[in-house]
Amino acid sequence: MKHKIHGQMSDSFLTAAFLSVSGGLQDAYTYIFRGKVFANAQTGNIVLLSQSIAEKNWHLALHYLVPLVFFALGIAFSEFVHIKYRKIQKFHWRQLVVLNEIILLFVVGFLPLEWNLLANAIVSFSCAMQVQAFRKVNGYAFASTMCIGNMRSGVESLCAYVKTKDKKILHKSLCYWAIIVMFAIGAGLGGYFIKLFNMRTIWVSCGLLFVSFMIMFIKEDVPEIEKDVRKLEKNINKVLDKLEEPEITEIADILVMNDASSDNTNWIVKQRNHAVVTHIFNLGYGSALQLGYKYAIRRNYKYVIQMDADGQHDVCNILNIYKALKTKYNESYPDIVLGSRYLKDSSPYKTSFLKELAYSIFRTFIKMSTGRTIMDPTTGLQGLSWRAVLYYSKYGNFDERYPDANMITGMILKGYNVVEIPAVMHSREFGKSMHSGLKPIWYMCHMTLSLIAVVVRQHKEKRRMERQKKHEQ
């Protein structure tokens, strides 16, 4: 069961991107136009302050000391806003921080060069508020006004990916590098606009911050999220209620594959004394299924029957599939039994035009490449023999993303006995299909290419076996 919750947009990459561009521009503005002072990188100011003190240049020392003090005050102010306004409903407290930052930087745009000390103090104060308020992007710690921490985390994550090949870790690394690039773009824009607008260049930063301010209005309503989660939890409970009926428990154990869901699926399943395997990160539909197959092999299960947890697959299908797995078809027991939505005796099932178009293409392709007519090549309701489960469980034998028509085609070409029986289906009570909206277009393209690849690969494998056989003779 998988439900993605976006949460507060202040933690989103989009918000972080605009904040980072703004941060880079502010740093360029104070360094290039306001007397070579770093608004964000206070380490540089400390170094220059120390040098000024060593040289007994007290005026220049004050030039660097003031931004440092105001940076500290900015952190304190941001924390004050957090404590005092974190429970307000109309605005998120981080929006108030950004709004204050916009006002302060707008004032800076009116200050002449003679007022650089004050201008740098205000910019440093604003940067500090931003640093303190925005410390995460997509759950990862980051900084929007400096790069050293982001670079360290980006390289660290990249090294971890090289070792583990975990795509989630790669995504984390790319996220950090993207933020660094955004910061660099902001710095470049700062240098460019200074030539055009002089002291009013900082207003560009105000515009970028205003975009971030508006983005943070695009957020999910918390009560609705909580309501949705409760519905999802109710959904899994209803499915488990039906699976716990005596006629099912007599023939089957229950295993729930939890692909990093955001609800209480784990707790619910464990409270009902069923097995649950959980991904720490969302690895996708195919990866979850394959892990389930490995689980079944380790426990020497003779059959595996898989179904979705959204309530669409009626539990009565399990008994029908189990019976079909134990029945001979064409003088052999089936390796795969498909619960079809589109056979004559299947329950009525409506689908979108795009999905129906995709299914028609897949049916035609399977017919042309295998000679078999499979009415529902994308069904998630399947029963598998030990032989099929063993094959799927091995590395490289199963599509980790979209194991649908491509896997069925490949198994038929490999000589596995695939059988299709009518299925009883219900409308989805809650949740979204992973092929909702315009996603079927991408899915159709991906699956078509995958089907072609399967046929080509199987043809090459057949030719290789024939050559090997000739060589042995």
pLDDT, residue 13, reads 82
Instruction: Report residue 90 as tokens.
Output: 């109309």
Q: For the chain, where do the domains classified as CATH 3.90.550.10 start and end?
A: 224-472
Instruction: Report residue 182 as tokens.
Output: 């955004």
Q: Rounded to the nearest 5°, which phi and psi values hold at 273? A: 65, 40
What is the C-alpha to C-alpha distance for residues 219 and 94, in angstroms, rounded to an integer?
Answer: 13
Beta carbons of 25 and 185 less than 8 angstroms apart? no
Q: For the chain, where do the domains classified as CATH 1.20.1250 start and end?
A: 9-220
pLDDT tens digit sequence for 220-239: 444 444 555 555 667 788 88
pLDDT, residue 471, reads 79
Instruction: Report residue 12 as tokens.
Output: 């989103």
Secondary structure of residue 90 in the 3-state scheme = coil
pLDDT tens digit sequence for 164-220: 888 888 888 888 899 899 999 999 999 999 988 888 999 999 999 998 888 887 754
pLDDT, residue 436, reads 52
Q: Which long-range contacts (CB under 8 A, 24 or more apart) does 446-453 make?
A: 446/401, 446/402, 447/358, 447/362, 447/402, 447/404, 447/405, 447/406, 448/361, 448/362, 448/365, 450/399, 450/402, 450/406, 451/362, 451/365, 451/366, 451/369, 451/405, 451/406, 451/409, 453/406
pLDDT, residue 417, reads 95
Which among 402, 165, 149, 422 has a CA at the least distance from the CA of 287?
Answer: 402
Residue type at 415 in one-letter notation = G
pLDDT tens digit sequence for 8-42: 566 778 888 888 999 899 989 988 998 887 777 67
**DSSP label at residue 400:** S
pLDDT, residue 222, reads 42
Low-confidence ranges of the chain (pLDDT < 70): 1-10, 41, 89-90, 138-139, 219-233, 262, 428-440, 442, 473
Residue 106 CA to its chain's centroid (Å): 36
CATH architecture of 9-220: Up-down Bundle (1.20)
Beta carbons of 125 and 74 less than 8 angstroms apart? yes
Beta strand residue intervals within 248-341, DSSP E: 255-258, 275-278, 303-306, 336-340
pLDDT, residue 223, reads 46
Beta carbons of 39 and 124 less than 8 angstroms apart? yes
Task: Return the CATH class of domain 224-472.
Answer: alpha beta
Beta carbons of 425 and 347 less than 8 angstroms apart? yes
pLDDT, residue 2, reads 42
Beta carbons of 267 and 278 less than 8 angstroms apart? no
